[in-house]
């Protein structure tokens, strides 16, 4: 019998190797979880002219990381740019899609240049695949490498189940 049970990600899941080149919706980095921190690189792609259902303008280039959320869940994601002058904004969008029209679960853009932005998922958001989008509402100059730290409970969804 093979069974994958939900558990605290911090205890159960090894950090996936970050993709070296691609952090787009089609090929997101991660998945990220609470076993980090994860050193995020950055693409020069601008996939999000707008975000949060098309309601928020995003002017910077973006980097996208996958977040697999199971149940129960309650987590925070903190992202710190490695360049002190870069003012990024972070968005958790989903579940199940990675488009400008996808709704935001949480977002943060109030810390200012070089500072850590932190988002909280809330308690027990629906199970599914979410995407962390690192972008900017302040500058189109391009995103920079960042450090991502996830804390709390982000158990991965059940991947497979069989009885023999």
| Binding of another protein by 44 (CB under 8 A) | no
First to last CA, the chain: 6
Site string for another protein, 50-79 (x = CB under 8 A): xxxxxxxx----------------------
Side-chain half-sphere of 98: how many Cα atoms within 13 Å?
Answer: 21
- State in angstroms the smallest separation of the CB of 164 from another protein: 45
The answer to whether 30 and 66 are in contact (CB under 8 A) is yes
Nearer to another protein, 55 or 124 (CB): 55
Task: Map the footprint of another protein across residues 87-116, applying CB under 8 A.
Answer: 87, 89, 91, 99-101, 104, 107-110
The answer to whether 78 and 37 are in contact (CB under 8 A) is no
- State in angstroms the smallest separation of the CB of 38 from another protein: 22
Nearer to another protein, 22 or 35 (CB): 22
Token digits for 122? 């809330």
State the Cα–Cα distance between residues 79 and 144, nearest whole angstrom. 11
Task: Map the footprint of another protein across residues 115-154, applying CB under 8 A.
Answer: 136-138
Nearest in space to 76 (alpha carbons), one of 84, 67, 87: 67
Please state whether the peptide bond connecting residue 12 to the residue before it is cis, i.e. omega within 30 degrees of 0: no
| Binding of another protein by 47 (CB under 8 A) | yes
- State in angstroms the smallest separation of the CB of 112 from another protein: 9
Residues that bind another protein (CB under 8 A): 46-47, 49-57, 87, 89, 91, 99-101, 104, 107-110, 136-138
């Amino acid at each position: 019998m093979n069974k994958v049970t939900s558990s605290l990600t911090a205890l159960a899941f090894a950090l996936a190797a970050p993709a070296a080149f691609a952090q787009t919706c089609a090929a997101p980095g991660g998945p990220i979880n609470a076993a980090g921190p994860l050193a995020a690189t950055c693409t020069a792609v601008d996939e999000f002219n707008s975000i949060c259902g098309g309601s928020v303008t995003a002017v910077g280039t973006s980097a996208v990381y996958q977040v697999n959320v199971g149940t129960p869940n309650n987590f925070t994601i903190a992202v710190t740019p490695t360049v002190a002058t870069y003012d990024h904004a972070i968005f958790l969008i989903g579940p199940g899609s990675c488009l400008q029209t996808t709704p935001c679960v949480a977002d943060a853009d109030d810390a200012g240049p070089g500072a850590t932005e932190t988002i909280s998922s809330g308690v027990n958001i629906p199970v599914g695949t979410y995407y962390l989008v690192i972008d900017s509402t302040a500058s189109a100059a391009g995103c920079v490498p960042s450090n991502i730290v996830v804390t709390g409970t982000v158990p991965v969804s059940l991947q497979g189940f069989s009885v023999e």
